[in-house]
Amino acid sequence: MSKTIPVHRNQYIDVTFEDLTHDGAGVAKVDGFPIFVPGGLPGEKANIKVIKISKGYGFGRMEELLQRSTFRVEVTETEAHKYGGCQLQHLSYEGQLEYKENQVRQVLTRIGKLENVKVHPVLGMDNPWHYRNKAQVPVGERDGKLISGFFKPRSHEIVDTNESLIQLPEVNEAIQTVKEICSELGIKAYNEETHKGVLRHIVARFGKQTGELMVVLVTRTSDIPHKSKLVQEIADRLPNVKSIVHNINSKKTNVIFGRETSVLWGNEVIYDSIGGVKFAISALSFYQVNPVQTKVLYDKALEYAELTGQESVIDAYCGIGTISLFLAQKAKNVFGVEVVPEAIEDAKRNAELNGITNAEFAVGEAEKVIPKWYKDGNKADVLVVDPPRKGCDEALLRTILEMKPAKVVYVSCNPATLARDLRILEDGGYKTLEVQPVDMFPQTTHCEAVAKIELR
């Protein structure tokens, strides 16, 4: 017999929150039945209204907070605060770090069955606000004026905002200035429903170490009205701007960028550096959005690799070569592989930019290229993986187990897939020595981690 759901829609009920979901909602349980309530924190008691019920869980709305967490902090509940990507801003930073450490520890135990692995306290930021070096904001229209900001959850309604609490001030300023100029010149926003209008997104990228700014205008049309005046105004009003780029996306799609990109003014790239390594960043380059914590993360990866200058290192999922070039300073040689051809071009250019000659890069899927290297006799002493959220491909994990590098350093942006992959490596003869979580995205639920793994 199926179990009866113990609550019903529109019911008011007192609950205690036990945990947080991956998007920061409080988790309460009524006779084992989970109810997700935005704004609840572990340990708090509240009166909630049940607003929706599915087969295995429900959703609630906070009516009254009956007992507060010592980690709760007051926030200004404007729409910008509410929907600006800061799911955990009502949790003190100390509380956020504790939550993320527990999150990593729990998934290692539950998914990875790794009971005795040392999980260090999370490495956090001195100032956990205004850290993102890139923004890509949708543009719309309201009352004849341009608006820009972010979408309300599960909708395409734009919340107009002048500031994001997690973007660098220079990025916030660039977005607002470009929006104002476009509004003054009467440039129309793209309309998703009619597929008419011009301006779809404004993108700003900022080099924190160099102070260089890039502005990217994403439009539906190949022509931009008043283009020369627009470019001149951006260059005049944003003194840090070194590159103004035009990207055309004429398709009916949620994808931000189209395939055609051209430079309207200035350089094709801006530059930034992390830990003394310089990077050229183009409009479409992948580059870590929190440069301060990226250095912390990569320093830890380098420490775990324990390089003496004699090692051959393979960097799977190498991107534009950020970790590869860090490692190359201490390794005999580094081989990076990445599926995106443009990223590999960037990686080669970045190696040249830094005078690094002991790093080579190949285009392809890591799970196909690395087995081929292995067959050709390229056996790594250390293998570094930094996969997307879905974790490592099975074929790559099989190759690691065949190749048997003495050390594996796993850089993860998703603790759940990290735990799953560590279990596979453990079953294949490896031992996870320690895991260091790093807070790359304060005020959000995301947590990165670096794992140190050795052949038994």
Instruction: Report the catalytic residues.
Output: 413
* Tokens (6 digits) for 417: 């897939």
Q: How far apart are CA 454 and CA 456, in angstroms?
A: 6
Backbone phi and psi for residue 431, each to the nearest 5 degrees, phi listed first: -125, 130
DSSP one-letter code for 56: S
Element (H, E) at 204: strand 199-206
* Tokens (6 digits) for 198: 């011009």
CA distances from 155 to 83, 166, 194, 219, 346 (A): 11, 22, 17, 21, 35
Q: How far apart are CA 342 and CA 390, in angstroms?
A: 22
336: number of CA atoms within 13 Å, CB side?
32
**Which residues, in sequence order, are bridge partners of residue 59?**
36, 52
CA distances from 322 to 290, 315, 326, 413 (A): 13, 10, 7, 15
Q: How far apart are CA 79 and CA 67, in angstroms?
A: 25
